Structure 1
């Protein structure tokens, strides 16, 4: 490669490093370091039940939880089915109501239609609550007063015993008693709103009802679809109504809600991440495991509301749950977090100029990579085309441009680092460790550029995500396996080398090794991405142990496999294709190292600690394996020589 071109490309990389570092370590880090307050929330119905078991009123029970760090109460919007199960209303088909009236006449009944649904209510306040919500959410709703404190609501919605029944999905507002209890206890309500068949008119009507709830600053949606989820116009209307209420939107971790990400963007990313453990999951956990899960969610994934579902089985329940919250508060403080109102992530400024400069660094790295592949005559032309495409994509779709360039960064730099630093000759231990560190830092340029390109509140809140996760892990492996296979193959040119490899006789050992490598790559690919393979219980215990010892656990595939293999490869050199398994593992380690930072919702400091622990542990383990091999080889020679 021409020296002037090479120096020019390195100058572009240096400028890009400065641009990305400014965004990553100044703007993003400064935002994250003040984003440290976590809110503890409980469920109103569960605390009411727990309080009753302890001989306390709901207000007294809530006040006890407040003393132990709780500041918010989730109020789940009741269904008609819930109220019927509690004996507060009765729900009939028209025919069933006629049959009942034959034996129990009703004073002044309306004309009964057999196909309609009828709700019998014995409280004026409850009637007003249900009627206003049903009238706002459904058409064809009528209300009738049929006697002293006795009311009927009639709806054309059919009564059917299935999950489509309005009994099972229609939310009917929040009882005044529950709202009064929360306010009297000095806590903040978080309404958990049921979805409904939304249109532009009823969205305004329904949210006007919810706006009457005092003290709300966060709203939680209950179902896997949001009102208006299938229409950008209706979601915009929902966002407009939420803005009128000046509330944030709670995002439940591990619970995909259709329309949520779009609504979060429309709300100017005013989103708070929420983590909870369901009662069914909690039954299978020890207290220590539950504490670890809550603490990790807050410390490593920026969950800022921890929604605690209390245990309702066993003796001394109230004290048991309060002690758990005390332990959780201590654990969070140990992670450098504080209890209080949930921190909301402030906007992270995004400069198009800095994004453009960062992208130029990735392009320069790509050209250096192509130079290693001996594409020298085409480099200038390819570079000019790449810059023009980068400019055009930034203008056409700024968000997509950033994602694609971030993907390019995490493919190019781990691949290029191995191409630059690996050689056929071995090195001394000191040299190998030094080169290992240099190689890893060079790979991490890809991580730096990715972080600079994706430093945005949308990515940090998982409203948007890095694309091409599996490609980012697999492409470096494929490129490196092909490159080094050809590097040591016999022949003068690439075509001759390929023919030589294809014409080689298949040896059983090589075939078995190839099969094992293919299986290893398949497992590796399946375990990457946002929806990976299920992790075994033993591995979960091992991860928990690492968390307890190190504070932040390194990735297993890095410190147990990839990094030790890379150190051995540097010590022995890539002599021939018998070293392909080591190369495969080394490439996995470097790809994983860089992709650690693709989890933008994880605080930057946590990712740095994770990467650092993986590197020093990997070097240590690699040295142990190296000296064990030397000892075994020495012992073998002594045995052979008698």
Structure 2
């Protein structure tokens, strides 16, 4: 009796679950609109920053270092570099700036030709001019006094200096406030200053307040963390200094830059970003190693191609990944074949403002050059209520998907899912949102493919209507169902921490693979109208089937293809040189590159399978391959640092080109089949 009543309500709930999914879908649309408003109407300025220390290191190998620096600064300004990154000063950097000369005790002995105690290992400094002495001596004295290291005056041939009672190697490493002469010079030349701030000095609130006040007067708006920990970080259990640091940064109107593709986030960064109300911009780093590739032994054509590749990289970072600060590094390289010391500065400038350079293309995309600004999210108060509807709708979608495998579980899974999700929300709201987004994002393409298989199977029985029209309609309908998962991901994960990659949507690999596994499982065991007993028998039969060498080879091919497929997912996926060239061609031609696996493989094969389903039962296998494209549609929007508009256009391009190429596959199929039919009788007669 109880079982019968449950089955009755379970059957009735299927319809209501679909209504809950539709309500969740509708609730996501205004949330998506506000996210798009955030992306399109705030943070539209892009800042190119060059590492000033790198420029000093390159200049140290030139015949006239100071003139080289002056010339390069003018050229960079002309090329569109608006900002210079300045580090906390060290004795080594002050020497590179030609403010001081530094000697060890042994070197000082040789210089002065006077004996020094053999037990002494000190650092000797000579200031290059009176301005350098007046500005830097108090700074150096204060730094080493705070370390309880003694200093005293010293001079040589009427050139003033000082002695630091610490070994040269160790003294060269000690950080101090940034060089005030450099800061003022860069400001006078019209550069915005971006500070590289470390946690290498003991945190002192008064000293940090004074430093940030000086930097504010110079117009500093943002700093980049230099090292593995943010200023003020002690440990996760001792956040007091971070709270003080956040208050000081707010007082002086400063924010952070988050370097993308780091192996590990700097310790304390996420907490400091939260305390700053996410006054953070994303930063893309063009490293010294990247620059070295522009100094290799290359032909003019090869160099032009690499410069073009660098420009493409910067444009893609800004358009596709919400990068608002591009950090440029360079290094001098000894080229033995040419007998020269080379640097990539000219090539970097050409990538910015040369023919088809990055800066004009970024401007054409709707951005402007200037000081990088934070996002100011559009976030109406009603979003909380909308997310409750999304929460219920996501659970309903998961329950519906399970119901297409085991119908009797729909109501049970829905109720247990609501309870479990609510408990997860109490434990961790972020984990709750990610778990539901992953579940909905997995279920939508799975359901879409299941419906496509069922529809194509039914079409095999009726065989009425236009075959091409049916195929196109089925692909578009399947993609539309997959987009339901997109809506839930966008709605549930609409927090600024995701576009800034302060937190990431975990389980993207599962989102790629699980719909394929579930769709294949449905095709193997649930495609036919069998009882549960028959499904179990069929499953046991498959598991106990004779395994031939051909099966082993096929399984190996499938596993290899799956591993390659997963290796291509995410930001760290690898691509061949030819594919990178093809991607670049698509990006430069279309402005937004569709995904290759969608428009070249999955969608065309799906279309061909739907076309052939009028005649061939095994054509369902081609439709099954199409689940890769459906999972890719959802995964495109799971890259939450990519603007919604870009992802949407990418999907439209993928479907449009996929249909065109799929029609090409169909034409080739028809030509081959008709040719076979025409020539086979003639061959048999002969």
TM-score higher than 0.5 here? yes
Aligned counterpart for 2:102 among listed residues 90, 97, 120: 90
Q: For 2:431 and 2:91, locate their aligned partners in 1 and report how far apart those are by CA, in whole Å.
A: 44
Which of 131, 142, 145 in structure 2 is aligned with 1:132? 142
Match of residue 208, structure 1, among 210, 220, 230: 210
Question: How much has 1:250 moved relative to structure 2?
Answer: 1.6
How many Å separate the matches in 1 of 2:433 and 2:347? 51
Residue matched to 1:217? 221
Structure-2 change in CA distance of 1:577 and 1:323 (3 Å): closer
Work out whether residues 84 and 191 of structure 2, in 8 Å CA contact, stay in contact via their aligned partners in 1: yes
Q: Does 1:74 align with 2:106?
A: no
Distance 1:490 1:278, change over 3 A: same
- Per-residue CA distance 1:22-75 (angstroms, 9 max, x = gap): 111234434433332212333435667789979968667645644554432222
The corresponding residue for 1:535 is 575
The 1:408/1:490 distance shift into structure 2, 3 A limit, reads: closer
Q: Are 1:262 and 2:271 matched, yes or no?
A: yes
Counterparts of residues 182-261 of structure 1 (less than 5 Å): 182-196=186-200, 198=202, 201-202=203-204, 205-206=207-208, 208-213=210-215, 214-229=218-233, 231-232=235-236, 233=239, 234-256=241-263, 257-259=265-267, 260-261=269-270
Q: CA contact under 8 A between 2:198 and 2:226: conserved in structure 1?
A: yes
Verify: 1:607 aligned to 2:607, yes or no: no
Q: Tell me, what secondary structure is at the counterpart of 1:458?
A: coil
Q: CA deviation at 1:82?
A: 3.4
Q: Deviations over 1:495-516 (max 9, x none)?
A: 1011221233334444433321
Q: CA deviation at 1:528?
A: 1.7
The offset of 1:336, in angstroms, is: 1.7
Structure 1 residues 338 and 98, CA gap change in structure 2 (3 angstroms): closer
Contact 1:216 1:247 in 2 (8 A): yes
Question: What SS does the aligned partner of 1:262 have?
Answer: helix
Decide whether aligned partners of structure 1 residues 131 and 472 sit closer, same or farther in structure 2, where only a CA change above 3 A counts: farther
1:178 paired to 2:182: yes
Please state whether the residue corresponding to 1:614 is helix, strand or coil. Answer: helix
1:121 shift after superposition: 4.5
Residues 316, 16 of structure 1: CA spacing in aligned structure 2 closer, same or farther, 3 A cutoff? Answer: closer
Tell me: CA distance 1:374–1:488, structure 2 relative to 1, closer, same or farther (3 Å).
closer
The alpha-carbon distance between structure 1 residues 113 and 246, as it changes in their structure 2 partners (threshold 3 A), is farther
Equivalent residue in structure 1 for 2:560, among 519, 522, 529: 519
Secondary structure of 1:141's counterpart equals coil
Counterpart residue number, 2:482: 443
Residues 1:623 and 1:465: Cα distance change in structure 2 (over 3 Å): same
**Partners in 2 of 1:582 and 1:323 — Cα distance?**
44
Q: Distance in 1 between matches of 2:612 and 2:140?
A: 76
Q: Which segment is superposed worse, 475-484 or 499-508?
A: 499-508
**Residue 529 to residue 65, structure 1, CA distance change in 2 (3 Å):** closer
SS of residue matched to 1:38: strand
Q: What does residue 17 of structure 1 align with? A: 25
Q: Distance in 2 between matches of 1:126 and 1:281?
A: 34
Offset of residue 124 of structure 1: 4.5
- Judged with a 3 Å threshold, the aligned counterparts in structure 2 of structure 1 residues 117 and 353 are, in CA distance, closer, same or farther, namely farther
The farther-off stretch of 590-599 and 240-249 is 240-249
Structure 1 residue 302, shift from structure 2 partner:
1.2
Matched, 1:495 2:573: no
Distance verdict in 2 for CA 1:316–1:511, change over 3 Å: closer
The answer to whether 1:34 aligns with 2:46 is no
Alignment partner of 1:298 is 2:329: no
Distance in 1 separating the partners of 2:585 and 2:625: 24
CA gap 1:316/1:598 in 2 versus in 1, 3 angstroms: closer
Separation in 2, partners of 1:65, 1:367:
58
Tell me how far apart the structure 2 counterparts of residues 277 and 239 of structure 1 sit (CA, whole Å).
28
Deviations 1:164-189 (A, max 9, x none): x5635x33332222111122123321
- Please tell me whether residue 371 in structure 1 is matched to residue 403 in structure 2: yes
Q: What's 2:610 paired with?
A: 570
More displaced stretch, 321-330 vs 241-250: 321-330
Tell whether the 8 Å contact from 2:109 to 2:115 is kept in structure 1 after alignment. no
Residue 470 of structure 2: aligned partner: 431
Give the corresponding residue for 2:497. Answer: 458
Q: Which runs of 5+ in 2 are unaligned?
A: 1-7, 128-132, 295-305, 333-340
Which one of 151, 173, 191 corresponds to residue 143 of structure 1?
151
1:34 and 1:295 mapped to 2: Cα distance? 18
Q: Is the deviation greater in 431-440 or in 244-253?
A: 244-253
**Native 8 Å contact 1:44 1:178 kept in 2:** no
Q: Deviations over 1:126-177 (max 9, x none)?
A: 22223334455xx33333234583222335xx766xxxx5635x33332222
Correspondence for 2:373: 343
Specify the alignment match of 1:109 in structure 2.
none
Q: Deviations over 1:96-151 (max 9, x none)?
A: 58977995358xxxxx8959754535334322223334455xx3333323458322
SS at match of 2:323: coil
CA contact (8 A) 2:212 2:249 kept: no
CA 1:195 to 1:359, structure 2 compared with 1: closer, same or farther past 3 Å?
Answer: same
Question: Structure 1 residue 77: deviation in Å?
Answer: 3.3
CA distance in 2, matches of 1:173, 1:264: 23
Measured after TM superposition, the shift of residue 520 of structure 1 is 0.7
Aligned residues: 622
8 Å CA contact 1:279–1:311 kept in 2: the answer is yes
What SS class does the counterpart of residue 214 from structure 2 fall into?
Answer: coil
Partner Cα separation in structure 2 for residue 508 and residue 575 of structure 1: 31
How far apart are the structure 2 equivalents of 1:575 and 1:283? 58
- 3-state SS of paired residue (1:304): strand
Change (3 A) 1:132 1:316: closer
